Amino acid sequence: MTDHPTLGTHLRETAPMTIRLARARRARSVQAGLVLVLAQLLTACSGVLDVSLPGNVNASALDQPTLAATIVDGAQADFECAFTQYVESTALWSNEVLNASGGAEVVGWSARFTRPEAGTTQCPTATSNRGSFTPYLPLQIARGQAELALDKLNGFTDAQVSGRTLLIARSAFYSGYAHMLLSEGYCQLAVDDGPLLTPAQGLAIAETKFTTAIAAATTVNNSAILNAARVARARVRIALGNKTGADADAKLVPASFRYDATYAATPVRRRNTTMEDINLKFHLSVAPAYRGLTFGGVADPRVIATDAKRVGIDAVTPEWIQGKYTAPESPLPLATWDEAQLIIAEAEGGQAAVDAINRIHTRYNLPAYAGGTDAQILAQIIEERRRSLWLDGHQINDHLRFNIPFATGVDQKGVRYNNETCIPLPLSELTGRT
């Protein structure tokens, strides 16, 4: 796990206030949740991201340099809550896990026939509304918060804000990541009140944000954000067809690098929902394609699935639990050396790809991959991504990029899969747009 610079344990949860968008696509307005009595919150015991106050507050109320770090902390906290929702929801969508629940939201995401408004509530704040599968609004809130932070920081000076350049790097990184996920998983991207964008247009915005993060992190010599943004920009560039640029970024990532989204057992919104809903609540089960994986007769430690010797909450589905995340506070990786190596493999192909794959195999004590034709090597790259990046939020985009078929027919309970591939936007985002 890579520590977030300038942040102590749970600081993002205990920052003195949080900012939420009145509407996710309006970056100039913040929603209920802005706490006005700063002195009270400085001594608060509970996470302020769970505080909700009525009414909207204009973003101009935040034109105080002393609040700049708080705005950035709030953006990161909201992103991390959104990210675990996205990982879990898209894992169902792309059949990394199976529906082992009777809940309508779980069934809908698993069979890809979610209601148009699915995902348009905020991150859950109580046990009673866990498992609601709400990635969309939380991601848009996180995107808007990060954009608001960048806007405010660009209006301040270094003399006004201590560590301003690092705050810019962090804000740009989380803005870029939110843009990237919304572009990878959804059929279109809605940004503020402008026209709907294609996924490629959204990824292009993400690239500019990661470029900003790289420049700022380089200036302050912050290797954590710098390398995280390099991996993320390489991810965007390879998707946009810029293999040369992706390769250049990925090659700069040091061995064993990892940058995480962090989680905690409390409060509720800080939990790793993927781990919780598979291993503790039994609403999800590891899909058969991810059970008992080996390479050259050796068990693959990247994908650990164990038969729990029970059925899920639906009393039908055999429950297989995952071993990648071991507790509700387990972090989720946002950027890793493994991903960088696989981007190098995809960008270069041939023997360079074989070498990159084998660097990963060496790390996990797996037998070497011998290589093959160009088509066989690409197929192995896709398989390596499926294993190395399991339950990390990549698989839906890999299905779309590589034309991997989504599940068809009926699932293990007889529920018929819909023909959706990318996730459709909520109807509320389409109103009044062109």
Banded pLDDT at 37 (limits 50, 70, 90): very low
Sign of CA dihedral 87, 177, 139, 46: positive
pLDDT digits (tens, 9 = 90+) for 247-306: 999 999 999 999 999 999 988 889 999 999 999 999 999 999 999 999 999 999 999 999
DSSP H or E run through 335? strand 332-336
Residue 413: burial class (beta carbons within 10 Å; 0-12, 13-18, 19+): middle
| Per-residue pLDDT at 104 | 78
Banded pLDDT at 122 (limits 50, 70, 90): confident
Q: What percent of the chain has pLDDT over 70?
A: 82
pLDDT digits (tens, 9 = 90+) for 419-434: 999 999 988 888 766 5
DSSP H or E run through 261? strand 258-261
| Sequence-separated (6 or more) residues with CB below 8 Å from residue 282 | 100, 101, 308, 310, 311, 312, 313, 319
Q: What is the DSSP string of 12-81?
A: HHHSS---EESSTT-TTEEETT----HHHHHT-SS-GGG---SS-EEGGGG--GGGHHHHHHHHHHHHHH
Distance CA 87, CA 181 (A): 10
Banded pLDDT at 60 (limits 50, 70, 90): low
Domains detected in the chain: 11-263+332-404 (1.25.40.390), 282-322 (no CATH)
Sign of CA dihedral 331, 19, 114, 403: negative
Say what the pTM is. 0.88
Residue 365: burial class (beta carbons within 10 Å; 0-12, 13-18, 19+): exposed
| Sequence-separated (6 or more) residues with CB below 8 Å from residue 431 | none
